[in-house]
Structure 1
Amino acid sequence: MSDLLFARSQMAMSLAFHIIFAVVGVGMPALMVIAEGRYLMSRDPLQLELAKRWAKGTAILFAVGAVSGTVLSFELGLLWPTFMEHAGAVIGMPFSLEGFAFFTEAIFLGIYLYAWKRIPPRAHFAAGVVVAVSGALSGAFVVCANAWMNAPAGFRMVNGQVTDVDPVAAMFNAAAPSQIVHMTLASFAATGFAVAGIHAFALRRGTPHRAFHRAALQIALWVGLPAALVQPLSGDWSARSVAERQPVKLAAMEGHLKTGPAAFVIGGWPNAATLEHTGAIEIPGALSFLLHGDPNAVVKGVDAVPPDERPPLGIVHLAFQIMIACGSVMAALSVWGAWRWWRRKRGSGSALPDDRRFLTAVVLAGPLGFIALEAGWTVTEVGRQPWIVQGIMRTADAVTPMPGLVVSFALFTALYIGLAVTVVFLLWRQIIKTGVSQTPMGFTSELPIPTPGSTASYPTP
């Protein structure tokens, strides 16, 4: 492997690891805030238990995400110094704002974790809302920076130097809105489905703490199902944005190899040498119709650019197909859940937690959100190759000249493996193990429940 490939592999591994915690940092605070809000309205102690359990998990995952995010910031300077030299002044604003949002999230997460008995309940709930909002903003600012790499704006290149920098125009580039919406929905969908899958498994197995897991499943589905249902619309928006600004990436995603009316390609493997498909199912004119409303509209194919400007076709197309498949299953499950909920409201069906077929489907779909997330980021990053900044700077020109990148690749791989083992152990010990040894049904209606807005503290579970 060349040093360029080692550098790209290291960044791919780092991003694949960190993105999980970044997404959880957006989704989990929403779950715990909803649980606490329901507790303040209903005085149901199970909701308080949920908020506290999910706060523990959020803290653990936030801490590991902070470590992996710090590592990523060092890697940008270590592996891609030329990129940082030219792009740092342009996209420094979203990175700075992301740091501000991150520290805000950390401060209020500390308040949320340690001030249960020290501040009024409504103030505590407000701290949780700040955690959720700042987590979402943190993700949005990072996506702004990535969107700039796909649709560079806010500067001019004069004799190889960046001039006339407009950081606001760079941050609010043309690709940012669709990517932010798509990523935020993906965060809620992935987190909601993963949490729902865990509690659906407990209900499917016949746990003695059924009421606890029913309440958790309900909240997780509230977050995950609507996001998954709306996600295809944001995906269509993102695809249209890519078609306008990165037509070769879209061609690689969709498997559209030769310029002309574009079919919708399902499956198959593109041959980069012959620009032919193997084993694909094609729906003639479907992609042209989706993009332009005309099945005969001409769409640029991979052949529109020289071979050295084409991304790896097989990887991009396969990752896109995986993302679409996972998203479609999640959207279908959302429709099923909405239909069952509607029947239940009309009094002609059982509650979702009592439907064993639905619970089985939720368990199986639990990891799909994160699989789709990883596949989607593969499409975003690999599909932009050979450019690190679309049309401006090639990845090969941005990599460090320092030799021996295999060493850093091995060291960082070991670091991430260690972090992964640590996360699993901590979650098992702090969340799952305590959930077995300390019955969540230990709450009773006789506990001194504080009224919203009072200065009384929360009861200790």
Structure 2
Amino acid sequence: MDEFLAARMQMGVSLGFHIVFACIGMVMPWFMFLAEWKWQRTNNPVYLDLAKAWAKGVAIFFAVGAVSGTVLSFELGMLWPGFMEHAGPIFGMPFSWEGTAFFLEAIALGLFLYGWKRLNRKVHLYTGLVVGIAGVLSGIFVVSANAWMNAPAGFDWVNGQAENIDPVKAMFNKAWFSQAHHMIIAAFSATGFAVAGIHAILYLKNRLEIHAKAITIALSFAAVAALLQPISGDLAAKSVAKLQPAKLAAFESHFETSERAPLIIGGIPDVEKREVKYAIKLPGFLSFLAHGDFNAEVKGLEEFPEDEWPPVPIVHYSFQLMVAIGMFLALLGVIFLIATYKKKHWLVKRWWLKLLILATPFGFIAIQAGWIVTEVGRQPWIIYGIMKTRDSLTPMPGIQYTFYTITAVYLVLSFVVVWLLSRQIKMLHSKYLSND
């Protein structure tokens, strides 16, 4: 493994683990807030136990998210010093705001965890709300920094140097909004279905009230997010078509510029022959997806130098996987809403609970696929159209060993997180079994 591949693999592994921790840490506070709100409204102690149990999970993911996020920030400087030399002064603002949101979240979480018997009930409830808001803001600021890499703004590039820097324009670049809402909605969908799936496993074993209520709360967020995700995805695709047409062409393995371009479902891209085998093609739908017009022209990869093409098969398969999972989760969202308002008996049926169990990892698989599309689809650029990734690589040797070390550390950290969460879940489950 050469140094360049090792550096990219290390960033990929770090981001892959961090995004899971960050998404759960960002969304779970909303679950604990709603559980406590329901307890204050109903005085049902089950909701109180659920809020306290989820709060412990939030604390765990807050801690590991902070650690993994810190590692990523160090890796940017250590692995890609050429990038940080130019980019740091430009897109530093969203990172500073992310730090502010992080500290606000930490303070509010501390008050929530230790204020159950020390704070007024309403004050305590709203500290949980602050945790949730700060977590979402933190995610938006980080995504804004990544969006700048896809749509650089707020500077003039003159003779290899950035001049006339405007950090505000850099932060609110043309890609930040489409990426931010797509990522936040994906986080709520993935975390909601994962939490519902875990409680569905426990509910199938012992039909305890606490797991039924946990499933309902988690799916209340997940179902809405899953139904909003296709709309968000359409807006994001139109943004990519405008700002990064080569990435859009790689999504669909669209090699030749054409009008009434077909949307490709499935298929195996053959880059040498510039065709896609065994695909289902829907004429005009890619034109509509990209430009809102079934007859619009869509640029193909032929419009770009071949050495600036993203790795087409990786981007294509990741995009297809993300979309397929998104449609499946949207279908589950429709079923949940129908069941909630028309067919309540569905919610306790084994087939429904097994569907939730099946869906448990799917949201996070879709998020991983989406980030592969975003990051690999931008290649070979680290700052799109400005700086190539290879040109920003550190001259430091031995990156392979840091890659192996980081991977091992994250695997151990993930094992510890799973063990801690399993321990909390078993304690909660045992408490209710003993009460019965």
Q: Letter of the aligned partner of 1:39 in structure 2?
A: W
Contact 2:79–2:394, Cα closer than 8 Å, also in 1: yes
Contact 1:212–1:441, Cα closer than 8 Å, also in 2: no
Aligned to 1:310: 309
Counterparts of residues 123-142 of structure 1 (less than 5 Å) = 123-142=123-142
What is the CA distance between 1:441 and its match in structure 2?
7.8
Contact 1:212–1:440, Cα closer than 8 Å, also in 2: no
Aligned to 1:358: 352
The secondary structure found in structure 1 opposite 2:344 is coil
1:434 aligns with 2:432: no
2:386 and 2:365 mapped to 1: Cα distance?
31
1:113 and 1:51 mapped to 2: Cα distance?
10
Aligned to 1:332: 331
Contact 2:97–2:141, Cα closer than 8 Å, also in 1: yes
The secondary structure found in structure 2 opposite 1:162 is strand
Aligned to 1:185: 185
The secondary structure found in structure 2 opposite 1:281 is strand
Counterparts of residues 95-174 of structure 1 (less than 5 Å) = 95-174=95-174
Residue number among 364, 380, 384 corresponding to 1:386 in the alignment:
380
1:258 aligns with 2:252: no
The secondary structure found in structure 1 opposite 2:272 is coil
2:274 and 2:116 mapped to 1: Cα distance?
61
Counterparts of residues 224-303 of structure 1 (less than 5 Å) = 224-261=222-259, 262-303=261-302
Q: Letter of the aligned partner of 2:149 in structure 1?
A: M
Contact 1:302–1:310, Cα closer than 8 Å, also in 2: yes
What is the CA distance between 1:256 and its match in structure 2?
1.1
Q: Structure 2, unaligned stretches of length 5 or more?
A: none
Contact 1:352–1:359, Cα closer than 8 Å, also in 2: no
2:300 and 2:318 mapped to 1: Cα distance?
18
The secondary structure found in structure 2 opposite 1:268 is strand
**1:221-251 alpha-carbon deviations (Å, 9 max, x no partner):** 1111000011100000000000000001001
What is the CA distance between 1:293 and its match in structure 2?
4.2
1:366 and 1:391 mapped to 2: Cα distance?
38
Contact 1:188–1:227, Cα closer than 8 Å, also in 2: yes
Q: Letter of the aligned partner of 1:222 in structure 2?
A: S
Aligned to 1:455: none
Q: Letter of the aligned partner of 1:136 in structure 2?
A: V
Contact 1:320–1:375, Cα closer than 8 Å, also in 2: yes
Residue number among 359, 362, 372 corresponding to 2:366 in the alignment:
372
Aligned to 2:80: 80
> Alignment identity in percent?
54
Contact 1:217–1:353, Cα closer than 8 Å, also in 2: no
**1:108-162 alpha-carbon deviations (Å, 9 max, x no partner):** 1111111111111111111111100000000000000001111110111111111
Contact 2:3–2:399, Cα closer than 8 Å, also in 1: yes
Q: Letter of the aligned partner of 2:320 in structure 1?
A: Q
User: What is the number of equivalent residue pairs in this alignment?
Assistant: 435
What is the CA distance between 1:202 and its match in structure 2?
1.9
1:437 and 1:277 mapped to 2: Cα distance?
53
1:202 and 1:407 mapped to 2: Cα distance?
41
What is the CA distance between 1:421 and its match in structure 2?
1.2
**1:315-345 alpha-carbon deviations (Å, 9 max, x no partner):** 00000000000000000111112222231xx
Aligned to 2:409: 415
Aligned to 1:451: none
Higher mean Cα deviation, 357-366 or 391-400?
A: 357-366
1:136 and 1:291 mapped to 2: Cα distance?
28
What is the CA distance between 1:71 and its match in structure 2?
0.9
1:34 aligns with 2:34: yes
Pick 1 or 2: higher relative contact order, CA cutoff 8 A, min separation 6: 1
1:440 and 1:304 mapped to 2: Cα distance?
64
Aligned to 2:65: 65
Normalization by structure 2: what TM-score?
A: 0.97
Normalization by structure 1: what TM-score?
A: 0.92
Contact 1:190–1:368, Cα closer than 8 Å, also in 2: yes
1:250 and 1:292 mapped to 2: Cα distance?
12
2:245 and 2:434 mapped to 1: Cα distance?
56
Kindly report the root-mean-square deviation, in angstroms, between the aligned alpha carbons of the 2 structures. Answer: 1.4
1:48 and 1:181 mapped to 2: Cα distance?
31
What is the CA distance between 1:68 and its match in structure 2?
0.8
The secondary structure found in structure 1 opposite 2:162 is strand
The secondary structure found in structure 2 opposite 1:238 is helix
The secondary structure found in structure 2 opposite 1:295 is coil
Q: Letter of the aligned partner of 1:439 in structure 2?
A: Y
Aligned to 1:446: none
What is the CA distance between 1:263 and its match in structure 2?
0.8
**1:349-408 alpha-carbon deviations (Å, 9 max, x no partner):** 334432222222111112111011000000000000000011011000111111221111
**1:69-104 alpha-carbon deviations (Å, 9 max, x no partner):** 111111111100111110000010000010111111
Contact 2:238–2:291, Cα closer than 8 Å, also in 1: no
Q: Structure 1, unaligned stretches of length 5 or more?
A: 344-348, 444-461
- Runs of 4+ aligned structure 1 residues displaced above 6 Å come to none
1:342 and 1:350 mapped to 2: Cα distance?
7
